[in-house]
Amino acid sequence: MKGIAVAAAVVRYEARMAARSRAVWIGMVPVSLLGAVFGFATLTGQESARLNAGAMAETLLVIVPIGVAAVLADRLRRSRTTGLGELLDTMPLNGAACTVGALGGALAVALAPVLALVAVLGAVIAVRTGDPVAPVWALLAFLLVVLPACVWTAALAALLGLALSVTLARFLVIPLWYWAVYWNYTLWWVPTPVGTVLVPSGEYPAQAWFGTTPVWAGYGQLDWLSPAPAGAATGLANLACVLLGTALMVGCARLMRKR
């Protein structure tokens, strides 16, 4: 119980610090507004609320994870340069959990405008489709499609922010995200997780629980990593791989902070 209390304290502290940071709001509010433009464009109202929610979530992935990465690239470096990392290391909580708490608190604040946008889009879906459960579908789409991708990019940006300058990390995370999610290797061959269960694009979960039609899922460069989308099984496999990749990046960040 004491460890849980310490972890919660780390999350609260980082959330308060992120909430006081103008850079977080300056970065995420415009991203959310741009996401609103993309999101509204996908809401035809001619399909089910479930399908509209899935399509909306996939559209938000074009811009939201990049915004999250940009505003959180300095989270772990900031705690190291201010001495907070050393303070956290003295607490009765392992270092990896402290790192997760540091990222988790800031991520919760960064995603607050996006969650508000999802609530608005859920209401719009409800009006256009006549389905009162639409806000629930929109929230589930956020949790299953958008959130894992944002956690992945946040961990990637924070890791790059420790290894490189924060400015360079913010620039690098953009091409890395599009390489991992949108690279068309049939036009220009480069090894990429696109189409495999390793991809953080949300295509597998969106197909599994929201009935969307995936573009690349199942067509990766390695057949054994590219199962055809088949409902909950492949959706869960993709989520597990994305979370495992995130955990590896967090572990590397923890090692770098110790050194």
Each residue's pLDDT tens digit, 177-204: 999 999 999 999 999 999 999 999 999 9
In a domain, 238, yes or no: no
Block residue for tokens 């889009």: 121
Given this model, what pLDDT does residue 8 score? 74
In a domain, 221, yes or no: no
Residue type (1 letter), 10 = V
Tally of CB atoms within 10 A around 69 = 28
In a domain, 147, yes or no: yes
**Residue 163 belongs to domain spanning:** 2-182
Percent of the chain past pLDDT 90, that is, above it, reads 66
In a domain, 94, yes or no: yes
Whether the per-residue pLDDT at 7 is higher than 80: the answer is no
Q: Cβ(238)–Cβ(206) under 8 Å?
A: no
Q: Would the pTM count as exceeding 0.85?
A: yes
Mean pLDDT of the chain: 88
Question: What DSSP designation does 145 have?
Answer: I
Question: Which of 33-47, 50-64, 89-103, 131-145 bottoms out in mean pLDDT, i.e. has the lowest?
Answer: 89-103
In a domain, 127, yes or no: yes
In a domain, 201, yes or no: no
SS3 89: helix
Given this model, what pLDDT does residue 113 score? 95
Given this model, what pLDDT does residue 54 score? 95
Q: How far apart are CA 55 and CA 131, in angstroms?
A: 16
Given this model, what pLDDT does residue 88 score? 55
